[in-house]
C-alpha cells in the first residue's frame, strides 16, 4: 500500500515524532542532546517555525510544531540529516540513524494544543527518566522547565544575532525577541496575564496529567483517536452522520475535511519545494571536483561512478525523484540507477554530508 503524502500548510499544528533505527539510541549523552537542541533552535528561528513542546528520549523525540513559510519537510530534513551527520562523526559510526521517515500528525488546535503540550512534556516521567513532577520541573531535556522559567530556553539561538532572521538592534531595549521566547509567552497567555500566576496554572494542568498514563488517543490520528479513543460514540450512526477520519489528522470531521480540501490540488511533499535535479547534479559535481559534463560520459572512472551513485541516492531517497527521471538526467539505464543507489548506501555518511551542505 503506498504511503500517504504528508499534509502541510503554513500555520498548521503538527505533532512530530522520530525514532532511532531498530530502536537504537539517538542521544547517548548530554552533549548529543545539546547538539540537537542547538541545531533545532537555529532552524526554528531561520524558518520561523514555532515549537510549543518538545521532549528528548534516549531513542526518539517528540516535537509540537507550527510551521511558518517553510514546509515541515524542509525543517525536518535539515534537522535530522544535519544531526545524523554530527552524531555519526562524533561516535565514529556510519549508516542510518533514524528509522524511516519521521511521523507527523496534523492537529486541530482548539481541543488539542494544551493537551499535546502536557502529553509531550510528561514523556520523561512515563519513560522513568525522572521520578516525579518536582524533578521534571528542572529537567533540561524537555520544554516543561523552560515554560516554568526554571531553566533557560535552549531553543533560543545563542548569541541571538547569529541567526540571520533576527534584526540587529540599535539599542538593547529594542532587541527583537527570538521566536522561541515569544512561543513560551503565547503558551502562558492561555493561563492569564500575570506571569507568576500563569506558570502556576500551567504547572497545575501538567500535574493533572500525571495520572492519565500513556494517552494512546494522542499518539496518532484517525477517527477513533480524534473521538478520544472511545468507539462507542461512533457506532450506530447513519451514513450521513459519519465524521470523516484520516490517520494523518487528529481532529473533528469538519477539521479533517477542511485540511484535506486545502491539500487537494497541491503537489505532494516529494515534488514540492525540492531541489531541481539539474541543480543537484551541479552541486554534487562541484563538491567532488568533477565537471557535470563528465558525469554524462560513458566513463568508468571510479570518482565519476561514485558521484553518479551519490546523485542517484540523493535524488531518489532525499529529493523523491523517480528512477526514470534520474536515468534521463545522468544518461544511464534504469538498472544503472538502481545499482548506483545500492552502491551509495555503502557511502551513506558521504551522502548525508553533501545533502546537509546543499540544503
Domain residue spans of the chain: 13-263, 274-358
CATH of span 13-263:
3.30.70.1290
What's the pLDDT score for residue 251? 79
pLDDT of amino acid 300 = 76
DSSP 81-93: HHHHHHHHHHTT-
What phi and psi, each to the nearest 5 degrees, are found at residue 55?
-150, 135
- State the pairing for strand pair 13-19/50-57: unpaired
SS3 at position 185? helix
Do 33 and 27 form a contact (C-beta atoms < 8 A)? yes
Residues 6+ apart with CB under 8 A from 272: 71, 73, 266
What residue ranges in the chain does DSSP mark as E strands?
13-19, 50-57, 60-66, 103-107, 249-250
Kindly give, in sequence order, each residue whose CB lies less than 8 Å from that of residue 260, ignoring residues fewer than 6 positions away. Answer: 7, 244, 246, 249
CA distance 229 to 81: 34
User: How high is the pLDDT of residue 94?
Assistant: 87
Query: For position 199, what pLDDT does the model report?
Result: 97
pLDDT along the chain (359 residues), means of 10: 61 93 95 97 96 98 94 91 94 89 88 94 96 97 97 86 47 70 96 96 96 74 48 44 64 77 55 77 88 78 88 87 88 88 87 82
C-alpha cell at 12: 498548521
Whole-angstrom distance between the N-terminal and C-terminal Cα of the chain?
30
| Range 274-358: architecture per CATH | Orthogonal Bundle (1.10)
Helix, strand, coil tally for the chain in percent (to 5): 55, 10, 35
Burial category of 349 from C-beta neighbours within 10 Å (exposed 0-12, middle 13-18, buried 19 and up): middle
Task: Give the pLDDT of residue 273.
Answer: 60
**pTM higher than 0.85 for the full model?**
no
3-state secondary structure of 98: strand
**Partners of 57 in the β-ladder:** 60
The rounded distance, in Å, linking the Cα atoms of 179 and 15 is: 18
Question: What are the Cα distances from residue 245, in Å, to 12, 29, 106?
Answer: 17, 40, 12
Amino acid at each position: 500500500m503506498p504511503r500517504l503524502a504528508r499534509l502541510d500548510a503554513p500555520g498548521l499544528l503538527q505533532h512530530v515524532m522520530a525514532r532511532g533505527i531498530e530502536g537504537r539510541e539517538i542521544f547517548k549523552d548530554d552533549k548529543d542532546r545539546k547538539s540537537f537542541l542547538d541545531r533545532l533552535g537555529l532552524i526554528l528561528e531561520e524558518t520561523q517555525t514555532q515549537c510549543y513542546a518538545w521532549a528528548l528520549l534516549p531513542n526518539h523525540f517528540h516535537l509540537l510544531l507550527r510551521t511558518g513559510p517553510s514546509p515541515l519537510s524542509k525543517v525536518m530534513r535539515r534537522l535530522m540529516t544535519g544531526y545524523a551527520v554530527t552524531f555519526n562523526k562524533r561516535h565514529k559510526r556510519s549508516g542510518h540513524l533514524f528509522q524511516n521517515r519521521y511521523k507527523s500528525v496534523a492537529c486541530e488546535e482548539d481541543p488539542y494544543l494544551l493537551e499535546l503540550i502536557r502529553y509531550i512534556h510528561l514523556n520523561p516521567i512515563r519513560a522513568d527518566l525522572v521520578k516525579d513532577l518536582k524533578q521534571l520541573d528542572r529537567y533540561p531535556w524537555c520544554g516543561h522547565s523552560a515554560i516554568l522559567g526554571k531553566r533557560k530556553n535552549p531553543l533560543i539561538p545563542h548569541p541571538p544575532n547569529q541567526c540571520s532572521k533576527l534584526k540587529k538592534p540599535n539599542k538593547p531595549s529594542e532587541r527583537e525577541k527570538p521566536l522561541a521566547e515569544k512561543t513560551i509567552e503565547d503558551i502562558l497567555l492561555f493561563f492569564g496575564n500575570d506571569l507568576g500566576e500563569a506558570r502556576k496554572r500551567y504547572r497545575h494542568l501538567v500535574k493533572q496529567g500525571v495520572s492519565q498514563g500513556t494517552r494512546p488517543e494522542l499518539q496518532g490520528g484517525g477517527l477513533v483517536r480524534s473521538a478520544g479513543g472511545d468507539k462507542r460514540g461512533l457506532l450506530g450512526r447513519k451514513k450521513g452522520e459519519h465524521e470523516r477520519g484520516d490517520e494523518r489528522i487528529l481532529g473533528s470531521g469538519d477539521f479533517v475535511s477542511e485540511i484535506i480540501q486545502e491539500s487537494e490540488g497541491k503537489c505532494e511533499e516529494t515534488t514540492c519545494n525540492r531541489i531541481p535535479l539539474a541543480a543537484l547534479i551541479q552541486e554534487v559535481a562541484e563538491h567532488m571536483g568533477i565537471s557535470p559534463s563528465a558525469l554524462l560520459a560513458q566513463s568508468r572512472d571510479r570518482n565519476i561512478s561514485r558521484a553518479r551513485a551519490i546523485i542517484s541516492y540523493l535524488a531518489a531517497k532525499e529529493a523523491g525523484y523517480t528512477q526514470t527521471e534520474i536515468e534521463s538526467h545522468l544518461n544511464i539505464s534504469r538498472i544503472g540507477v538502481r545499482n548506483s543507489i545500492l552502491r551509495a548506501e555503502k557511502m551513506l555518511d558521504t551522502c548525508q554530508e553533501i545533502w546537509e551542505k546543499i540544503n
